[in-house]
Amino acid sequence: MKINDFNFAGKKAIVRVDFNVPLDENGKITDDTRIRGAVPTLKKILDEGGALIIMSHMGKPKGKVNPKLSLGQITDAVSAALGVPVQFAPDCAKAKAQADALKPGEVLLLENLRFYPEEEGKPVGVEKGTPEYDEAKKAMKASQKEFAKTLASYADCYVMDAFGTAHRKHASTAVIDEFFSADNRMLGLLMEKEVNAVDAVLGNIKRPFVAIMGGSKVSSKIGIIENLLGKVDKLILCGGMTYTFAKAHGGEIGESIVELDKLDVALGVEELAKKNGVELVLATDCTATNGLDFGTMTVKAGSDIITCPSDKVPAGYEGVDAGPDSQKAFAAAIDGAKTILWNGPAGVFECDDFTAGSRAIGDAIAKATAEGAFSLIGGGDSVACVNKFGLADQVSYISTGGGALLEAIEGKELPGVAAMNA
């Protein structure tokens, strides 16, 4: 069922959102992006005369109650975002009476789902790989189904609007759907946008297709890179992984981050790109320093900042950003693109001295988008880059998905989406 085809009048809707928002030491929200992202779906239900039950996780309590991760802390913020009072259920598995009492236009926020181990469905207190674990896993699967059944009993229909957890087969994302007919379960407006954005990049490609993958490790992105090499026309690899590629060719990289056990993987990526006719763009020069303080994200007084070839970083120096020549090469590769995917920065952009590489990518994407390209930005660091540079309104779509987006790009099926189509 499509959410815009469903009439919520007189219905109780239970909605899985991603309200895993960052809190300061006083329990105050420091970034409410995820709450704002869910508002269109939640308001649609209320505006049509439905009653609303909101469920989410926060943090990693590992199946135990942790007051510091209670969703009760964000009740006022959710109320302000929706413009209506929000009731709170202090136990997500014992909220039937509160849910039954809800009237049209009223809202109930359930306590952190992950206070129950059944949400994630992982056995607790049993060592993985043992016969005991296999038995515990079987028992937990049954318990997870019961937990999902309990949550489902609160409502007439189910809305999945948490793309950030769509890659997890949790009770609230991929098991609960079993207890609703196909006509009473649907993706929320945010989920629809996310799924459509991924499809625009990977399923409905307009060429040239350019992907930019940054970050520190080749190993964490290898599945994604290999999948993209079967789809893109150009692939820019930047950030810390630059130095693994440089080292694989015998380069000197000083103190730069490197995965010495992945040099063959880097060479394999180059070979696969060549085989698939993909233009692989790597940084040829870098900005390096001998005094970056990662704690404060500042350069220590008296330290040097230099520009050098990526494969000739002096001893004692660390490559921390793409150099001027690389910035030009990245921008040139993006110029004229019709489909763009960006995941991962070109350097330590958190330090204001090393934003140039990421900024060059962001500006080039904004220019291409203005000329008609579809651009998808995903991953926390890339999103932070776009926001830091004031480019959020100059790209096509910013994904809130994190791990879910990466798995989708890697070509994996997302349980939270697949469940809706079953």
DSSP track, 2-59: -GGG---TT-EEEEE------B-TTS-BS--HHHHHHHHHHHHHHHTT-EEEEE---S
> Which of helix, strand or coil describes residue 313?
strand
Distance CA 171, CA 151 (A): 9
Cα–Cα distances (Å) from 338 to 209, 231, 383, 393, in that order, read 6, 13, 20, 18
Answer whether 366's CB lies under 8 Å from 398's CB: no
Classify each residue of 91-115 as buried b or exposed e, where b means 16 or more C-beta atoms within 10 Å of its C-beta.
ebbebeebbeebebebbbbbbbbbb
**How are the residues of the chain apportioned to helix, strand and coil, as percentages rounded to the nearest 5?**
45, 20, 40
In sequence order, what E strands does 91-184 have?
A: 107-110, 157-160
CB-based contact 403:192 (threshold 8 Å): no
Question: Both tokens of residue 357?
Answer: 């590489």
167: closest CA among 198, 139, 140?
198
Q: What is the dihedral of CA 58, 63, 67, 68, to 10 degrees?
A: -50
Of 228, 224, 262, nearest in space to 243 by CA = 262
- Please state, in angstroms and rounded to a whole number, the distance separating the CA atoms of residues 327 and 283: 8
Active site residue 16: no
Pair of tokens at residue 403: 């791990």
380 counts as catalytic: yes
403 is catalytic: yes
223, 268, 291, 403: which is the annotated catalytic residue? 403
Gap between the Cα atoms of 322 and 334, Å rounded: 15
Please pick, among 217, 312, 367, 388, the residue that the annotation labels catalytic: 217
Please identify which residue in the block is written with the tokens 């000083």.
254
Q: Residues 34, 44, 193, 262: which is the catalytic one?
A: 34
Q: Is 239 among the catalytic positions?
A: no
**Hey, which residues are catalytic here?**
34, 217, 380, 403
